[in-house]
Structure 1
Amino acid sequence: MLSIIGFLTILTIVVLLIGGRITPIMGLVLVPVGGALLAGFNIVDIGGFFNEGIDSVISVVIMFIFAILFFGIMQDTGLFDPLINKMIALTKGSVVAVAVGTVIVGAVAHLDGSGASTFLITIPALLPLYLKLRMSPYLLLLLVGLSASIMNLVPWAGPIGRAGAVLGVDPSALWRPLIPVQISAMLLLIVLAAFLGIREKRRISRMSDDEVAKADAEAEVAATSETAEPAVVERDPALARPKLLWLNLLISLAVITVLVWDILPSGLVFMLGLSIALPINYPKVNDQMERIKTHAPNALMMAAIILAAGSFLGIMNGTGMLDSLATDLVMILPAFVVPYLHVIMGVFGVPFDLVLSTDAYYFALLPVVEQIVTSHGVDSITAAYTMIIGNIIGTFVSPFSPALWLALGLAGLEMGKHIRYSFFWVWGFSIVLLIVAFLIGVI
């Protein structure tokens, strides 16, 4: 009975999330409570499960809130702008260089872990350049999406935080072994970008006169459009702090270094970083509060989702539904499949992105798979890494990504064409990255 109720609870959450019928917070809170009541537990029991679940994720919540605020402030000061603008200036005129530069610009822009801000920076800055060189804007979206997906492995981005909440592990601790994977992925992506740039150059050389005229007309329209942006990142001059560039860079490097060395809890690291950076850049208290208010919605939304996930996991674990479901699934699945279930899920992680939201993948699928494979001797961290690496590369090819819809709007592109253009490159890249992670011993 517990297995059936657990399965129906998870299925209900997934269906509601996919159908857009409910917010992740409501789904992760209301549905498990209903399942626990149906399973015969009383309100007092559920309250205890809730407390246990919240205790397991509170450190993740603290880290998320202050990490998002910290990197939001760094974006406001214009810390990343000089590198981004320099890369854009260097890549002008060469199709291959533009493709490679796009990857680097996308990685730098995504240091704050926000897909929306990444696309707001990169698309307006690079789209006119792509159109001027007659390059496909879908290539721009593919390369920025892949670059941002790789950077999404940082602990203050969503996927690692969600996995940390599920496993009860500090996201920074999850991230540190993944740093070699990130470095390898960026190097591979630069190679892929060069290859795609060469392919794009050949495509451009084969364009007919009509296609050339059409591409040039689109570039001219983009250049004269009221919404077009110059190929540099413009910031509010009242917020930029160019004279403090090196100091802000030093503060950011210090924060990341302390995270990597695991000297202090990640939440405290970002608290200290924010407390130092904010008054240095914005001495007036009113300005400090304004900056916090600007970035608070993103920070609180992610924190609220993680807290809701803590409630979900606490109830599912406390009632025994997850254990029961995992035990019964093992009996149903073929014996030779069970020990490798996490690998199967990882290999098909990108296709899952087309049918599952990020919340459904990490909060509904990962706990069940982790319970199943750990009973067969697979380490829970290995199972999580396999599913994360296989899925995270497909973040920005998923119709469930709000940031992707923003990017499509900024570039004037269509979701269907983007998926057709990018899907197999993204899926292939994720499989290659899984192999790399296996070879270097991460999984």
Structure 2
Amino acid sequence: MLTLIGILIIVTIVTLLMTGKTSPIVSMSIIPLIGALIAGFSISEISTFFEAGLMKVSKVATMFLFAILFFSILKELRVFDPMIKTMVRMTRGNVIVVAVMTTLIAAVVHLDGSGAATFLIIIPALLPLYRKLGMSPYLMLLLMAGSMGVMNMVPWGGPLGRSAAVTGIDASVLWQSLIPVQIFGVMIMAGFAVIFGMREQRRIAVARLNGTTPFELDCMATDLADDCFDDDSEEIKPKYLWVNLGLVVIAVIALAFGLFSAPYVFMIALSLVLVINFPKPKQQMEVISRHAPQALSMVAIIFAAGAFLGILSESGMLKSIAIDLIRILPSGWVGSLHIMVGMLGVPLDLFTSTDAYYFALLPIIHEVTATAGVPVESVVYAMAIGNNAGTFVSPFSPATWLAMGLAGTDMGRHLRYSFGWIWLFSFSLLAVGFLLKLY
């Protein structure tokens, strides 16, 4: 019963998000409540589930609030314009080079294993470039998601940490065999980027001929760096460019080395940006008011996602789904069950959270495959490689919602645009793992 209701809740929400029938706040607030009531839980129990969900996302929501305000104000001050000009000159307006560059930058920045930090660093810097070239922001998210999914398999990342907790094998030991997979994975994703870049180039060319360029703002030529950033409005140009850039660098270093809690990093960074660029309290409140709607909208979505996750996880629905998904598979597949689950890793991200996948599903798969003599390491490798590629196309990932807010994109459209390609990419990663005899 819990499995059926849980699946109906998830399918309903994903369908509503993909079709754009309701806002994320409405769907993730109301649908889980209805499902929990049908499952027979009392109001007090549902309230407890809700509060547990809020506790899980409160830190993330706080970080989102201050981070979005921080980067939105820097964008208004045009702090990133020189960086974009330099990148445009380097790429000479070449869409393919921009696509490959996005993939490689995402891989390097995501070495810290934090999806939220990677999106916060890259999207504000690259989004103006994509818009100036007429490139789709959904392509940027697809390329970042694939590259970040590969690099997410580091010992300090969530998946291997969870796997280590379940299996008792040190995360660094598990990672050593995955390093070649990561190297090949980045290379494969760079190849994907070339193909996607060529496709995007053709789309832009056709759109220009038809006069329909939905993602283009003003410029399309290779002289973009010289013409597209000219602006005589002195009041919107930063007076303290290097100081502001220094704040960005310091914030990134603080995030990467964990010097402060992430929400506190952006709280301090925002305060310093306000004091430096808007010394009068009235100016500070005015600039916050200009960007508050975007920040508050994102925080509201994160809290709604917390309610959604809290009800599904605390009620036992996610664990029930994970167990019953295994039971429907043919018994003759026992020896290769971990590989089959790995192949389903990306779509499973739409039905189970990361916690459910590793804490509920992994032990079950291990127990089943152990009867066929499959080593536990092989189970971890197959499941981690297959699942990680889809981490940042899943509505269960708070970082993905952050990316939607930063890029001004829609979750449903992101799923439609990226899901199939990311799943295909996961097959290539699984093939690499198979050739390396990891399972």
Asked if 2 retains the 8 angstrom alpha-carbon contact of 1:149 and 1:394, the reply is no
Among candidates 361, 371, 374, match of residue 372 of structure 1 = 361
**Pairing 1:269–2:276 present:** no
Report the equivalent of 1:132: none
Asked if 2 retains the 8 angstrom alpha-carbon contact of 1:151 and 1:182, the reply is no
Report the equivalent of 1:156: none
Distance 1:220 1:4 in 2: 47
Distance 1:47 1:393 in 2: 28
- Aligned ranges 1:256-335 → 2 under 5 Å: 256-334=252-330
CA deviation profile, 1:385-421 (whole Å, cap 9, x unmatched): 85342464899xxxxx989x989xxxxxxx9xx97xx
Q: Aligned AA for 1:228?
A: D
**Number of corresponding residues:** 368
Cα deviation, residue 48, structure 1: 1.4
Q: Aligned AA for 1:69?
A: L
**Pairing 1:99–2:88 present:** no
CA deviation profile, 1:307-365 (whole Å, cap 9, x unmatched): 1122122222332222223222222223536534652234xx4xx6xxxxxxx955756
What is the TM-score of this pair, normalised by structure 1? 0.63
Equivalent position SS for 1:375: helix
Distance 1:4 1:406 in 2: 34
**Pairing 1:9–2:6 present:** no
Asked if 2 retains the 8 angstrom alpha-carbon contact of 1:2 and 1:321, the reply is yes
- Structure 2: 5+ residue runs without aligned partners? 107-117, 150-157, 164-174, 367-375, 396-402
- Structure 1: 5+ residue runs without aligned partners? 128-136, 154-161, 168-176, 205-214, 353-359, 396-400, 408-414
Q: Aligned AA for 2:27?
A: G
Cα deviation, residue 142, structure 1: 8.6
Structure 1 pair 189–238 and aligned structure 2 pair: CA distance change class (3 A): farther
Structure 1 pair 281–315 and aligned structure 2 pair: CA distance change class (3 A): same
Cα deviation, residue 62, structure 1: 0.9
Structure 1 pair 46–438 and aligned structure 2 pair: CA distance change class (3 A): farther
Report the equivalent of 2:236: 239
Distance 1:74 1:255 in 2: 13
Distance 1:141 1:58 in 2: 27
Report the equivalent of 1:32: 32
Q: Aligned AA for 1:252?
A: V
**Pairing 1:41–2:49 present:** no
Q: Aligned AA for 1:344?
A: M
Cα deviation, residue 82, structure 1: 0.9
Report the equivalent of 1:171: none
**Pairing 1:126–2:133 present:** yes
Asked if 2 retains the 8 angstrom alpha-carbon contact of 1:341 and 1:373, the reply is no
Report the equivalent of 1:157: none
- Aligned ranges 1:324-403 → 2 under 5 Å: 324-334=320-330, 336=334, 338-340=337-339, 343-346=342-345, 349=346, 362=350, 369-370=357-358, 371-377=360-366, 386-390=386-390, 392=392
Report the equivalent of 2:80: 80
Q: Aligned AA for 1:100?
A: V
Cα deviation, residue 257, structure 1: 1.2
Asked if 1 retains the 8 angstrom alpha-carbon contact of 2:323 and 2:361, the reply is yes
Structure 1 pair 16–390 and aligned structure 2 pair: CA distance change class (3 A): closer
Asked if 1 retains the 8 angstrom alpha-carbon contact of 2:181 and 2:433, the reply is yes
Cα RMSD for the two superposed structures: 5.3
Cα deviation, residue 27, structure 1: 1.9
Report the equivalent of 1:410: none
Asked if 1 retains the 8 angstrom alpha-carbon contact of 2:96 and 2:193, the reply is yes
Distance 1:278 1:182 in 2: 40
CA deviation profile, 1:5-34 (whole Å, cap 9, x unmatched): 223322332333333332222222212222
Structure 1 pair 433–385 and aligned structure 2 pair: CA distance change class (3 A): closer
Distance 2:45 2:250 in 1: 44
Asked if 2 retains the 8 angstrom alpha-carbon contact of 1:103 and 1:190, the reply is yes
Cα deviation, residue 59, structure 1: 1.0
Asked if 2 retains the 8 angstrom alpha-carbon contact of 1:258 and 1:269, the reply is yes
What is the TM-score of this pair, normalised by structure 2? 0.63
Cα deviation, residue 87, structure 1: 2.7
Structure 1 pair 316–227 and aligned structure 2 pair: CA distance change class (3 A): closer
Equivalent position SS for 1:376: helix
Report the equivalent of 2:59: 59
Distance 1:48 1:334 in 2: 38
Distance 2:429 2:248 in 1: 28
Q: Aligned AA for 2:342?
A: V
Asked if 2 retains the 8 angstrom alpha-carbon contact of 1:104 and 1:147, the reply is no
